[in-house]
Amino acid sequence: MTDAKAPIAQDFLTIPRKLDVGEKVNLVGLTRPALQEALVAAGTPEKQARMRTNQLWQWVYHWGVRDFALMTNLAKDYRAMLADKFEITLPEIVSRQVSQDGTRKYLVRIAGGHEVETVYIPEEGRGTLCISSQVGCTLTCSFCHTGTQKLVRNLTPSEIVGQIMLARDDLGEWPEQGAPKDETRLLSNIVLMGMGEPLYNFENVRDAMKIAMDGEGIALGRRRITLSTSGVVPEIARTADEIGCLLAVSFHATTDEVRDKLVPINKRWNIEALLDALREYPKATNSERITFEYVMLDGVNDSDDDARRLVKLLDGIPAKVNLIPFNEWPGAPYERSSNNRIRAFATILMQAGYASPIRTPRGEDIMAACGQLKSATERARKSRAQIAAEAGLDHS
């Protein structure tokens, strides 16, 4: 086993791009230090840069303002300079579908004409936004629709944080000046469970989450953000150090033999290696339990023996298990376990002391449920050889 995959996967996707002459810098997605640097480069005196950064930050991320002319605590000529050199732009919503259960699925167009999906899930007293981190995915989990889509590229921090901002636009959730602070937020939680493997786009995801967590802007606390990974072991400790959000892991099997088939990254970092990395995570982040996601596939991973093995594997890890009834997609090679089977599996986990909620599929009628995301424009199915080469599996 080598750690070679992680850096390779990130490097080949990095698209260094110089701005063309006259092209404006998008402020959305710049971290505070990067924003400050950009303002200085645009001629802001060093002494003022920090204050200007704060002011702009609040306009963009707290008030949701997109027009420099409205930033009334900045001098007029400074606003003109900003409008000349910078822009505040979000990816474009191409379409919005609303499910019978209120789930909203946005098809979002990003630079280069690529598309990703973002899903808003309203719940009692809260609302969760499921955001994408890549166009497609390099990994090829056999039950996942996104896994059949060719990876096109990593999203930039701007495109990741932009998904949160455009959902707030659509929900009408930017605060109004002078209005009392509304504590019940429509968009109160984020899950990085859309398209892509967030830990193969680590820096961009980290920077976007830092922006989302910043108390003077979108201000979603780190415990309101859950990052889901298929098990990119070397990046787990870094996630604890540099992001500190909650962690979910796509576990899905209790033997290496089955996990190799369902979540092929297991061939690189197997169950034991993954559990070792996870054991450290709650301590390192002083956070709650890790969520173990477990998709229920009829006759594949759903037996009582699986449930008992899972209990053994979880020993010593503060964990809860999220059982996900398999969501079907055209051509999927699996079927959903029966409700009785799922309940029997859950009972074994609960008797062993693990909370094990069964995830209610949301937005199925608009193909917005877990694992159903895939953009219509990127339907090319990879060849097996390509999948193996990209995932580096031929060397493991």
Positions touching ligand SF4 (CB under 6 A) are 137, 139-141, 144, 146-147, 196-197, 230, 250
What does the per-residue mask of binding to ligand SAH show for 248-277, with x meaning CB under 6 A?
Answer: --x---------------------------
According to CB under 6 A, which one of 370, 391, 392, 396 is a site residue for ligand SAH? 370
Residue 214 token pair: 């910043």
Q: Catalytic residue among 117, 235, 328, 378, which?
A: 117
Q: Which is nearer to ligand SF4, 163 or 230 (CB)?
A: 230
Helix, strand, or coil here: 297? strand
Residue 5 CB, nearest approach to ligand SF4 (Å): 13
154 binds ligand SAH, rule: CB under 6 A: no
Residue 251 CB, nearest approach to ligand SF4 (Å): 11
Within residues 157-186, the interface with ligand SAH by CB under 6 A covers none
141 is catalytic: no
- Residues found in the chain: 396
Q: Are the beta carbons of 157 and 215 closer than 8 angstroms?
A: no
291 binds ligand SAH, rule: CB under 6 A: no
Q: Are the beta carbons of 162 and 29 closer than 8 angstroms?
A: yes
Q: Which is nearer to ligand SAH, 28 or 116 (CB)?
A: 116
140 binds ligand SAH, rule: CB under 6 A: no
Q: Catalytic residue among 130, 144, 245, 370, which?
A: 370
Q: How far is CA 230 from CA 43, 70, 253, 291, 312, in A?
A: 44, 43, 12, 12, 20
Query: How are beta strands 290-296 and 246-250 bridged, if at all?
Result: parallel
Q: How far is CA 291 from CA 88, 191, 202, 249, in A?
A: 35, 12, 20, 6
Residue 372 CB, nearest approach to ligand SAH (Å): 6
Inter-residue long-range contacts of 43-52, CB under 8 Å, 24+ positions, other chains counted: 43/81, 52/78
Q: How far is CA 319 from CA 130, 273, 316, 350, 381, in A?
A: 21, 17, 9, 12, 35
What does the per-residue mask of binding to ligand SAH show for 338-367, with x meaning CB under 6 A?
Answer: ------------------------------
229 binds ligand SAH, rule: CB under 6 A: yes
324 binds ligand SAH, rule: CB under 6 A: yes
244 binds, among ligand SAH, ligand SF4, none (CB under 5 to 8 A by kind): none
Tell me the residue type at 339. N
Count of chain residues binding ligand SAH (CB under 6 A): 17
As a whole number of angstroms, the distance between CA 306 and CA 179 comes to 53
176 is catalytic: no
Note the helical H segments in the chain: 5-11, 32-41, 46-57, 76-85, 157-171, 202-213, 236-242, 256-262, 271-285, 304-314, 339-351, 384-391
371 binds ligand SAH, rule: CB under 6 A: yes
327 binds ligand SAH, rule: CB under 6 A: yes
What does the per-residue mask of binding to ligand SAH show for 45-84, with x meaning CB under 6 A?
Answer: ----------------------------------------
Q: Which is nearer to ligand SF4, 147 or 392 (CB)?
A: 147
Q: Which residues are catalytic?
A: 117, 370
